[in-house]
Structure formats: structure tokens, C-alpha cells
A and B are shown apart, each in its own frame.
Chain A
Amino acid sequence: MKQLKSPIYKNYLTALAFLAPFMVLYLWFWIYPIIKGFLTSLTAGSIGAEKTFVGLDNYRYMLSDDKFWSSFWNTLYFILISTPSIVVVGLVMALLVNMKLKGTTWLRTAFFMPYMLSVSVLGSIWVFILQSRTGLIAETLSSFGVTMEFSFFGSWGMGWLSILIATLWWTAGFNMIMFLAGLQEISDDLYEAADIDGANRWAKFRYITMPSLKGVTALVMMLQTIASFKLFGQTWLITKGGPGTSTTPLVHYIYQIAFRQWDSGYASAVSFVLFLTIALISLIQFKLLMSKK
């Protein structure tokens, strides 16, 4: 990246002309909302109404708001369960595709296809599969004479399991592609050398494949962490955040405060905390990527 970067033009006006359309949109719809959001978080009042300055009251309230903490812990819990599962499933899929079995293109297509669905279609399919009494699983069980004793959306644990399954089904293919790119970067020489040394399959995996995938794995974990912080569609569509608030993550909670209770001040405060959290994670990710290069 360092070489060949000498500029070919030195003209302020030309630069301005090329930058202007981008910067206008960018400042208007990205940078300004961050500032506006922070300022709103210091006020009280609903969307569209007169706002009064209240200082850090919203943030103080947040610290004692059980629903905020529950949505925060819910988000962390989802990171905890989804990150390892997505790494394992994505890696297994990538290894299977990379083995060049017969019909490997078909496998890759099958693994990746769910990612192309809209989250709304995904939500609908999984609700129909998992719902009590009339769902695919419930009916299939009952046709064998077994009654489904539990509900997939009835408790904290089952609710999150349902969201995890749906999310895995949806995004595992995406993560497979990342791992696949990583696998294809490993030089064949390494494996050939190992063959000469008489290494078995497991040894090759353990001492060549796994260390070489360290970078990709870190990236996948970071991305999944960030994606978990943005989790909204699946919970909104599949469990509706319930029962109670047990499957409500942060963005879902922001949605409820802002567009159900119309409290824009408090919603902005929670949003700002979300922004800071993700910015921090991205910064760490950025540092890691830079140190790798």
C-alpha cells in the first residue's frame, strides 16, 4: 500500500469537486446524527416535542434501569453462545467444502444459500418450524404420538436457543466463506512437507491448519460480536423479545423506548452507549488488523 501513492494532481478545487457529493451525504447522515444523538441524550422529551436539558440524568437512570441491564446481559449472553457456535459450524463447513469432495460446489451453494434470505423470511420460516401446536416440529412429533411438552419461545433459555439456531442457519454460510478464504491462503508446501515427515491428518490439522487460521478466526469472532450487538430482526420477528423482556437485546430495547414509549432522550442515551461499545470493539479490531500487517 505504501508504494505508488504519490499524488498526480495538486489542486484543491479538483479534490473538493470529487469529494463534495460523498462528504455532503456522509456528514449529513452519519456524522451529524452522532452529534445530534448525543445532544438529544442530554434532554428529556418525546420525538417531535419540545425538549428540556437534563444533563446526564438519562445516563444516571440507565444505571438503575433493570430493563437496560437485562437487555445488556442478554446481548452479552448471545455473544457468548453465538460466537463459538458460529466459529465451529463455519469452520466445519469450510473444511468440508475445501476437501474437494465430489459435488463440492453444490455443498458450498447449499451452505451459503440461507444467507441470501431476508431476515423477515428467515423469521417466518423458523416461527413456522418451531411454534407450539401447529409448528413443523410439534406436528411431526405428534404424528409419532409424542406431545411437545415445552415451547420454543416460552422461556429465556429456549427463546435464545431458537434465536441461536435461526441465526446459525442464516449466517453460518457467510462465516464459511471467510474461513474458506483463510484455508485457501495456506500454502500446499506446508502440507507436503508434513506428508514427507509422515504426519497424520489430525497432526496436520492441529499444527498447520489451526495456527494458520488464527487471524481469520479472530476476525470472525470480532464480526460476530459486533453483529450480536446489532441483533434486532431475529428477536423482533421470532420471539418478539419475550416472554417478558427475556429475549430483548440492546437494539430491540432501543426500538421499544424510542418507538413504543417515544422517549427519544433516553433512547438516544442507550444508543450512545451502544455506539461507544461498538466503536471500542472496532478500534480493537482495527489495532489487531494493523499489527498483523
Chain B
Amino acid sequence: MYLCGYAIALLMVAPLLWMFISAFKQPGSTVTVLSKLFSPPFTLDSFIKVLKPDGTAMMWRWTLNSVIVGVVQTGITVLFSSWAAFAVSRIAFKGKTIIFVLILIGMMVPVESIVVPLFDMVTDMGWSNSYNALIWPGMMLPLAFLILKQFIDQLPNELLEAARIDGAGAFLIWWKMIWPLSRSSMAAVSIFIFIQSWNNLLWPLLVAQETSMMTLPVGIPTFQSIFATDLAVPMASNVLASVPALLVFLLFQRHIIKGISMTGIK
């Protein structure tokens, strides 16, 4: 059992290790022959080549774009969904069922099936190659809404009732009670949405044609397409693109795993 477990673990980690070691080899050196792979010299030359601002690889810019898009998408999705979930869960109003069903429909719509009309809309609005185009379409609103609503549904009524008798308005209740109480489920949802956004390929590929507006998933293959035989430099760019995500994972492992078992959506 031990053997089996560690054998699979090794198999899973091996490609990652290979990526890391290759990245520390000289640009142009052979990394596919194992005896040569593990023998020195090890340098940072490949990283320097990737990061050099000569216009082909804009790693800093792509990372920045990915961070901006990820943070804004996550923030807005969680905030807006939390408000909407609070309203549907705790405020009585006409047409609630219609709105709830409408949002459930959204759960069934894959972004992939609406990219063509979305692209049309974005082009018509003159948003091509802009943060607007990267950020607004395709946010995972229905998913965040449903998870947060489920959580708010479970809050004991007495708690909110007491605050209301004290004269707190709806917004104050949201701000003083809902927001702090649902912090852990919001953290799980946030991390999940951020990973999705960080890894999104199809949509940014369509709307970011200019090199400076690309996100990491779009920039990486574009940059690597000019390297046919040199694997060290592309591997260095892979490492640079992966380190932030791997660090986030190692730091927030528990939250991420909880988030996945909670959402169950990929």
C-alpha cells in the first residue's frame, strides 16, 4: 500500500519536477536526456531570458493582467452574489420565484456555449483588447449565488430578528451579520472562483489579441510557439506562471479542498 501510494505520488510529481529542473538549465541545453538533465551547470539564464523586456514575453504584464482580472472578478462576484443571496433568502418580495428559477437556469449554461454571442457583444461595444472585455463576461455569478444562499438560509432567524428589533436596516444587517458570518464560505467560494479565472483560456484567447492585454494562459502558448527545440526557456516560463498558483495552494490547501467538496463544480 505504501509502495503503491508513493509510486502514484511520484508519477504525479515527476512532470512537475522535470519542469522545475529543466527551467534551471542553460537556454538551449538538452533536458530530455536524463543523464544530462541532472548534471550541472544549473543557472538562472533561462529565467532571465524569459523576463527580459524584449517584447516577446511579457511575463510581468501577463501576470499582472491575470491578477487584475482574477481579483476584480472574484471580488465583484462574491460581493454582488452575497447581496442577491441575502435578498432572495431573507427579504419577501414579489417575483422571487421567477428570479430564483432564472438564476438556476444560469447554472446550466456553460460559458463555452455563449462565447460567440458574447464576442459579438464585446466587439459591438468596442471593448476588444480591454480589461472590460476580460472581466465582465463569464463571471461565475449563479454558482456563487447558490452557495452563499444555501449558507444564509441556514442562519438562525432569531439572530437577524433581534438585530431588526434593535432598529437595524437591511443593509446594516448584511454588513454587521451576514458578511462576517459567511466569511468562511465566502473564502471558499473566492478561492474557487479565483482559480477558475486564473486558468481561464478560451475567453481571454478570444478577446485579447494584443500581446499586452493577454493573461498568462494565453500568453504562455503564444510565447512558447517560437521555441521548437529549446525546452529550457519555455519551461522557465511555465515555472514562472505556476509558482504563484502552487504557492497559493500550499498556503490555503485546507480552504481550497473545503471549497471543492462544497461546490463540486469544475
Contacts and interface: CB of A to CB of B under 8 A. Distances in A.
A97 B218 CA distance: 34
Contacts of B164: 8-9
Interface in B56-94: 76, 79-81, 83-84, 86-94
A287 to B, nearest CB: 12
Given A30-B141, A37-B113, A177 B265 contact: no
Contacts of B138: 29
Interface in B75-117: 76, 79-81, 83-84, 86-94, 96, 99, 102-110, 112-117
Contacts of B156: 4
A278 interface: yes
A226 B111 CA distance: 12
Given A8-B164, A226-B110, A254-B116, A120 B141 contact: no
A271 interface: yes
Nearest to A37: B117
B214 to A, nearest CB: 11
A5 B85 CA distance: 13
A67 interface: no
Interface in A91-126: 92-93, 96-97, 99, 101-102, 106-114, 116-121, 123-126
Contacts of A32: 121
A163 to B, nearest CB: 15
Given A1-B153, A119-B201, A258-B119, A14 B170 contact: yes
B184 interface: no
Contact of A124 (B174, B199, B224): B224
A208 interface: no
B136 interface: yes
Contact of A30 (B32, B109, B124, B249): B109
Contacts of B117: 33-34, 36-37, 40, 268, 271
Contact of B238 (A112, A125, A223): A125
Given A6-B157, A8-B161, A18-B86, A177 B5 contact: no
B139 A25 contact: yes
A15 B8 contact: no
Nearest to B32: A139
A99 B220 CA distance: 39
A11 B170 contact: yes
Given A18-B174, A258-B119, A128 B93 contact: no
A85 to B, nearest CB: 14
A46 B128 CA distance: 17
A27 B95 CA distance: 15
A33 B260 CA distance: 28
B99 A18 contact: no
Contact of A116 (B93, B116, B217, B246): B246
B234 A124 contact: yes
A290 to B, nearest CB: 11
Contacts of A275: 109-110, 113-114
B226 interface: no
A180 B10 CA distance: 20
Given A4-B155, A8-B160, A169-B12, A40 B90 contact: no
B121 A93 contact: no
B109 A279 contact: yes
A188 B142 CA distance: 36
A243 to B, nearest CB: 19
A171 B266 CA distance: 9
Nearest to B260: A177
Contact of A219 (B5, B153, B174, B264): B264
Enumerate the 3 nearest inter-chain pairs by beta-carbon distance, A residue then B residue, closest first. A22-B84, A18-B87, A139-B32
Given A30-B114, A128-B234, A279-B105, 7 more contacts: A6-B157, A14-B87, A22-B80, A30-B142, A34-B117, A116-B249, A254-B112
